[in-house]
């Protein structure tokens, strides 16, 4: 059973994903971590809300949600984000380093180059079919829900907004982050190369570690147990 002193792992979604992606992590973490998955609008319980198209507006909203979830407890926090979630986690981490009562113990980023290093090829502005083909090419992964016309209609607006938000992102600061930073990359990731992941060392103000794991860009869909074990062993 987690206690008020348990480190909370704040989880940020990748493009098109909702907070429910991280639900299985609660059982995987057991008593070691408390999983707090933040939700972006335009999906799941917030399906009727307009999705963000700007990272900094998104982080404003996520910061407010996190404050509400934490209440007065504050405490030890670690952050994890994959792809779009990596830059959301990075921006949120900078906000939290100045928050009273919060100890930011670690930032874990995954499947992303460092903040100032954007992707050369974009998907924003393409037709629906071309957009989905490009995103599938980026990820090396196709979500079965996109084959169902009704599900596709529900998912597409948030996915488009997320991709636009990621592709238009400009970092808010070039000040090194005052927290340990670990970058995780699938060793067969064709979207984010080894040097892209290593480039996070530029924004790490304290301890930096680069870890390669089996799999492609979406390695975490199959490797959640190993990833959670890695996070637990790093934080504790």
Q: For the chain, where are the E strands, in sequence order?
A: 8-12, 34-37, 75-82, 102-110, 181-186, 208-213
Residue 29: give the domain boundaries: 8-235
| Number of folded domains that form the chain | 1
Q: What are the tens digits of pLDDT across the range 3-39?
A: 768 999 999 999 888 999 999 999 999 999 999 999 9
Q: Would you say residue 22 lies in a domain?
A: yes
Q: Would you say residue 171 lies in a domain?
A: yes
pTM of the full predicted structure? Answer: 0.92
Q: What are the tens digits of pLDDT across the range 35-72?
A: 999 999 999 999 999 999 999 999 999 999 999 999 87
Which CATH number does the domain housing residue 25 bear? 3.40.50.1820
Give DSSP secondary structure letters for 180-208: -EEEEEETT-SSS-HHHHHGGGGGBSS-E
């Amino acid at each position: 059973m987690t206690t008020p002193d348990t480190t909370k792992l704040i989880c940020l979604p990748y493009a098109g994903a909702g907070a429910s992606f991280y639900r299985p992590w609660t059982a995987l973490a057991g008593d070691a971590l408390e999983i707090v998955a933040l939700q972006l609008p335009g999906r799941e319980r917030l399906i009727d809300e307009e999705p963000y198209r700007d990272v900094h507006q998104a982080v404003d909203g996520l910061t407010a949600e996190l404050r509400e979830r934490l209440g007065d407890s504050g405490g030890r926090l670690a952050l994890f984000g994959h792809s779009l979630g990596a830059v959301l986690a990075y921006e949120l981490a900078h906000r939290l380093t100045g928050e009273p009562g919060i100890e930011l113990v670690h930032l874990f980023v995954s499947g992303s180059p460092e903040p100032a290093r954007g992707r050369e090829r974009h998907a924003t502005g393409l037709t629906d079919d071309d957009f989905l083909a490009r995103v599938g090419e980026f990820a090396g992964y196709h979500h079965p829900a996109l084959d169902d016309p009704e599900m596709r209609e529900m998912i597409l607006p948030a996915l488009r907004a997320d991709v636009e938000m990621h592709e238009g992102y400009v970092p808010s600061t070039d000040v090194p982050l005052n927290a340990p930073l670990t970058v995780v990359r699938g060793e067969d990731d064709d979207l984010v190369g080894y040097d892209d992941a290593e480039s996070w060392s530029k924004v790490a103000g304290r301890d930096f570690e680069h870890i390669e794991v089996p799999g492609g860009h979406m390695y975490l869909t199959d490797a959640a147990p190993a990833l959670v074990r890695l996070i637990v062993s790093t934080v504790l």
